[in-house]
Amino acid sequence: MKTYEVFLKRPGKDPFTHVGALEAPDDDLALSFARDCYTRRSEGDQMWVVAREDLLVADPVELEMADRPHRHNDGTLLRDLRQAGSQPAS
Amino acid sequence: MTDSAPASTHSAHEAVLALADDELCIGQNLVWWIAVGPFLEEDLALTSISQDELGHARALYGLLGDDIDALAYGRQPHEYRSAHLTELPCRDWGETLVRHFLYDTAETVRWAALADSSWDALGAVARRALAEERSHLRHASGLLSWLLRTEAGRSQLLPLFDQFVPMACELFHLPPGCSQEALLADGVMDRSLSDQRAEWQSGVDGAVASAGYQPQWPADGAATASASGRAGQRSAHFAALHAEMVEVLSIDPTAVW
């Protein structure tokens, strides 16, 4: 049995969303089981089923963030400056 | 039914009733697998398929009258027209799989012959059902082809074909008093039952040929003897199946859902 990941998209502007996984012996049965396990109540009108082994998986080390507060600008500095009626120091 | 000629009206109603009763019985029998399927995906798949089949039954009964529950649950046993194959409990998963494969292969052929029906409402039900049947068939034949690659699968499943095939032939029989000629002449159905049966038979042959197997097909005419379900005679399994279907109604006849 292979593991497959299932993605569904609802009608409209919603993006594809990961909804779960399943096990199946081949691609055809994976599609069949995915239909029966994840779309029984019309949860989506489009479905992607991907063999987990075909996914490109990033190295978690590359995703680890060092302390980079400047990438988390939440706009509060600018807001505070505006409220104080002053211009940013040049 | 306004758009098909009166000559075929009675036959069309009888044929639809037989199809509906097949779907009702097989749907009810498959429901048994809820929570006890051999693995999670299969558990959900079988019970989802059972709901599809019950949905087909509902749509077909809806063509015959407004009170669907009365039609589905309220008749006397001899008024049902189900093929005996559909009444089998099949509590062994191998039995369920082989019956499911035989039945859904047959269904795909039967619905296709009704998809362009002159009875517009029946044609619409058939086209909708056909889309679902393809998915059911993909499920059944996918699992079957994997299991027939193993010795254990072959030794358990292949004998079941010879057991079920004679009963399954009843799926291509009409109830007595139902005229195939009238159905074909008025375009209610666009293909003879013997043609349909031949296509079904070659589909079944093809699926087991890779396992070096050839089911023993009864001669075309001989199947009449095994069409007692269509004639209103119920199999030994029907009483328990029907009791389960009407369990709630027999406690509270006014129940609605």
Q: Where are the domains of chain A?
A: 1-54
Residue from A28, A29, A42, A49 whose CB has the most chain B CBs within 10 Å, to mutate? A29
Task: Collect all residues of chain B within an 8 Å Cβ-Cβ radius of residue A25.
Answer: 142, 146
**Interface A:B, Cβ pairs < 8 A:** 43
Cα B74 to its chain centre, rounded Å, is: 20
Q: Which residues pair with A46 in a beta bridge?
A: A9
Residue of B nearest to A34 (CA): B41
First to last CA, chain A: 64
User: Residue B200 and residue B205: Cα distance in Å, rounded?
Assistant: 9
What are B195-227's pLDDT values in tens digits? 999 999 999 999 999 899 999 898 765 555 567
* Whether residue B1 has pLDDT greater than 50: no
Residue from B31, B40, B41 whose CB has the most chain A CBs within 10 Å, to mutate? B41
Residue of A nearest to B135 (CA): A32
Q: Tell the CATH superfamily of the A1-54 domain.
A: Phenylacetic acid degradation B (3.10.20.520)
Q: Tell the CATH superfamily of the B6-251 domain.
A: Ferritin, core subunit, four-helix bundle (1.20.1260.10)
User: Residue B128 and residue B118: Cα distance in Å, rounded?
Assistant: 16
Judge: B139–A32 Cβ closer than 8 Å, yes or no: yes
What is the ipTM, given to two decimal places? Answer: 0.79
**Residue A35 banded pLDDT, cuts 50, 70, 90:** very high
DSSP collapsed to 3 states, B209-238: HCCCCCCCCCCHHHHHHHCCCCCCCCCCCH
User: Residue B250 and residue B257: Cα distance in Å, rounded?
Assistant: 14
Domain ranges of chain B: 6-251
Task: Collect all residues of chain B within an 8 Å Cβ-Cβ radius of residue A35.
Answer: 48, 135
User: Residue B137 and residue B153: Cα distance in Å, rounded?
Assistant: 19
